[in-house]
Structure 1
Amino acid sequence: MRKLQRLAPKKAGLESTPGRRSPAYTPQGGHVRAIKGGHGLDIMGTLIAAGDRGAQVRNGKITFTPEDFRGSLRKGRESNLIVFVVDTSGSMAAKDRLAAVTGAVHSMLSDAYQRRDKVAVISVRGLKPELVLPPTSSIDVAHRRLEDVPTGGKTPLPEGLAMAEDLIKREALKEPGRRAILMVLSDGRATGRGGLDSLRAVASDIAARELCASVVIDCERGGRIRLGLAKELAKGLGAVCVEVDQLDARAVTGVIETI
């Protein structure tokens, strides 16, 4: 499996929810540099700022102004919202994809005390997608909600991505510091309304809005002719496309761990 590039930290000043997954600027973490509005009081940074302003030592004292004060910019790790969009259309292959996601979710949430991640799962099948697991960090909720998820039917993948986009936007309003990672498990086929044209439009919109980091796990299997639609979807999303030797919980979790 190709190693993925880790998420870059958010820009300075855009702080994240502390966790243990992706590098980010957080309220806790190692000191990077002194900045205005940083955490605590950075004495050396404040002295330098006062000196640059032209402050002088009089009778062994320096008169500071509010503009002189500097705090610490700290770099640590953030927690994430991981949104799975899984193609559950078809039969056996759909069950395998769902089992892989379910196992990965359970694995991740069993470590939630350390990582503080949230996960959500959108099932893509039939006439419209379904949010089978709203954002949660509870392994008990995930276990209940992911039991007996139906499979089969058409593949309304554009609608599934649109639902993920709306979900990520809503969650960003609630927790602006928690960055989202979109994980799409699909062969890239779209047999619902609008077909591939609609899929390309939604993917382009997600990429343009820079709402999340995206990864596509290519689920196309077998046959002499490969359509390469998952790779095309990944390109539209500005995502990495990953092929795994065997699609199971360990493979999906492994992809997430490399982000």
Structure 2
Amino acid sequence: IRQIPLVELPIGATEDRVVGTIDIERAIKTGERHFEPGLLAAANRGILYIDEVNLLDDHLVDILLDAAAMGVNYVEREGISFSHPAQFILVGTMNPEEGELRPQLLDRFGLAVDIKGIPEQEAREEVVKRRIAFEKDPLSFITAWEGEQKRVRKQIEEAKKLLPKVHLGEEMLKLITQICIDFAVDGHRADIVMHKTAATLAAYDGRIEVNKMDVKEAAELALLHRRRRQPFEKPQLNQDQLEKSIQKWQRNKSSQEQNQEKALDKENQPQEKQKEKPDTSPNNSSGDSSPGKNSDDSPDEEEKSGKEQVFPAELPYQVKRIAAPVSDQVFRSQTGRRSKSRTNSKTGRYVDSLIPRGKITDLAFDATLRAAAPFQVGRKKESSSQNALIIKKYDLREKVREKKIGNLIMFILDASGSMAAEERMVATKEAVLSLLLDAYQRRDQVGMVVFRGEKAELVLPFTNSVELAQKQLSELPTGGRTPLAHGLKLGLDTVKKHLRKDKYAVPLLVLVSDGRANVSFDDDDPVEEAKKVAREIKAANIKSIAIDTEQGFITFGLVRQICSELGGIYLRLEELKSGPIVSAVQKSLGYREKNEMVDEDGKRN
């Protein structure tokens, strides 16, 4: 039996460690370029394990996707062109509350298991007993369970021998495809994985024919992470929906069998009896009760579904990626998953090199070689060293790395009486919750100011907690007057306070209001006071979006005026749905100083 290698990929691993790099020691001693393999080479024909895989940097995810798709790791760097096999089983663990995996990588995982706590007291006691026994005497514990290990190992070996003989019939294949269709699974990888998994389960059970229980168990493993779900909804498989899919397949199968039997009986009937009842078949066909019941049930279910959708607490939607490009040369230590910035850590992608200004912590060997190469002839004449390469201190170069950081987003919401219209607040909450969810998954800091009555209130200091944000929004009351200037001022002060702690954060302010300010600071014009604060926000170089909730034939256009003072992007309430508001945030965060639109990678659009 071949020993399967198990290689762990830490989430803080560098790109060099994952794909491999040049052997520095050999290069200095012999002058030869020799490739030193990385973790992907070590995991070939083995298992690559990643703990907290959803926190893995995106540039490492791209490397894994390429290797997983082609089964080969191609390295083109530091003057080396090299490729090697990289066929591995990818195993990962994660906490979904800390953010989701990219869909491309998520689909690469064939199966998924939802780990839950054990509710049975006896079982929990047994877990504790076994753990304590292992800690007291590991060797004795392993010996005690050696027999069970051998039994399982033997069962697996026999299943591997039996697997080529396992047959999955046409009906089981129809069941697999029916389940995938009912669960609205994208692509066909789920169907293929379920096919292979069901056959494997049958072989492990010592059978050569796949049954519907094998398909059901395979679906529970293959569809858990592939089914479409709403944000804030925990990853779990709907067992009722799975049972309905199996029952639907069973009904179709029974119906086909009955039709085949009827056709066979009809062929066996004498022609004279068929002539006596010429109109029976059409009448029976049109009067079949099963299709009638199905058609009657369908509208009822849709009607019930429609009633549930009228409730105001609608779930948010997934939003497209938004990113604030960082064009400065500042080295940041923050973490996140949105905007790219230079970093002083070793976990980012190597993008450039520079002359070090102090102690070197991350040597750029390729750049150092290029700096030293022109002087080698003269140095060898002056030195007695036998090294193939002579490097001076002033040849040394340090790596410049790039990684993603989070952004700072402040929502300023109007909760006055003019916002009491149900449709307005539902749309507002829906859009804000959607962006909050995206911000949480991208490691953004998000805050919220609400103004109504006579004052503004910071209901959500800058945080990553989606649950807290959802709670605050769902319980948000409406009514009273509109202290707009108070809301803008509190939002500005909160952002400034945060910027004093983290001066390199990238802030964005989102105002949602009708602009009809009627509460002032010092008995001045409330609207003019709001415009004055808006000019302060613009002067602080804080990007903004203003969403106008004003409706009707007669409008004052106050939000547009305030937005003009903010120097931000203006949207009307009708444009509040996901597409417009998300694209507006993208546009606001994507503007450079010269108003050039850029995408997430910093490319011009």
Name the TM-score, length of structure 2 as normaliser. Answer: 0.37
Question: Would the aligned equivalents of 2:439 and 2:446 in 1 still touch at CA under 8 Å?
Answer: no
Q: Give the Cα separation in 2 of the matches to 1:203 and 1:142.
A: 25
Equivalent of 1:221 in 548, 551, 571: 551
Q: Give the Cα separation in 2 of the matches to 1:131 and 1:223.
A: 34
Where does the alignment leave 5 or more consecutive residues of structure 1 unmatched? none
CA displacement at 1:34 relative to structure 2: 1.9
- Residues 231-242 of structure 1: pairs in structure 2 closer than 5 A: 231-242=560-571
Aligned to 2:336: 19
Question: Would the aligned equivalents of 1:87 and 1:94 in 2 still touch at CA under 8 Å?
Answer: no
- Residues 133-152 of structure 1: pairs in structure 2 closer than 5 A: 133-152=460-479
Aligned to 1:164: 491
1:61 aligns with 2:380: no
Equivalent of 1:40 in 354, 362, 366: 362
Letter in 2 for 1:233: I
- Residues 104-183 of structure 1: pairs in structure 2 closer than 5 A: 104-111=431-438, 114-183=441-510
The alignment-based identity, stated in percent, is 33
For the pair shown, the structure with the greater C-alpha radius of gyration is 2
Letter in 1 for 2:540: R
Question: Would the aligned equivalents of 1:94 and 1:152 in 2 still touch at CA under 8 Å?
Answer: no
Q: RCO (CA 8 Å, sep 6+): is it higher in 1 or 2?
A: 1
Q: Give the Cα separation in 2 of the matches to 1:89 and 1:162.
A: 17
Q: Give the Cα separation in 2 of the matches to 1:122 and 1:8.
A: 25
Q: Give the Cα separation in 1 of the matches to 2:490 and 2:533.
A: 10
CA displacement at 1:235 relative to structure 2: 2.1
Instruction: Out of 159-168 and 197-206, give the one that drifted further.
Output: 197-206
Name the TM-score, length of structure 1 as normaliser. Answer: 0.78
Aligned to 2:513: 186
Q: SS at 1:181's partner residue?
A: strand
CA displacement at 1:133 relative to structure 2: 1.8
Question: Would the aligned equivalents of 1:42 and 1:70 in 2 still touch at CA under 8 Å?
Answer: yes
Where does the alignment leave 5 or more consecutive residues of structure 2 unmatched? 1-321, 384-388, 590-605
Letter in 2 for 1:57: R
Aligned to 1:72: 400
CA displacement at 1:11 relative to structure 2: 0.5
Question: Would the aligned equivalents of 2:324 and 2:506 in 1 still touch at CA under 8 Å?
Answer: no
Partner deviation per Cα, 1:97-152 (whole Å, 9 max, x = no partner):
54334333433444556311222211121111111222221122123323332222
CA displacement at 1:177 relative to structure 2: 4.5
CA displacement at 1:23 relative to structure 2: 4.1
Q: Give the Cα separation in 2 of the matches to 1:143 and 1:114.
A: 14
Instruction: Out of 229-238 and 169-178, give the one that drifted further.
Output: 169-178
Q: Give the Cα separation in 1 of the matches to 2:331 and 2:473.
A: 34
Letter in 1 for 2:353: A
Measured on the aligned residues, the alpha-carbon RMSD in Å equals 3.6
The count of corresponding residues between Structure 1 and Structure 2 is 252
Q: Give the Cα separation in 1 of the matches to 2:453 and 2:392.
A: 70
Question: Would the aligned equivalents of 2:510 and 2:544 in 1 still touch at CA under 8 Å?
Answer: yes
Equivalent of 1:89 in 416, 423, 432: 416
Higher strand share: 1
Q: Give the Cα separation in 2 of the matches to 1:36 and 1:57.
A: 21
Question: Would the aligned equivalents of 1:217 and 1:242 in 2 still touch at CA under 8 Å?
Answer: yes
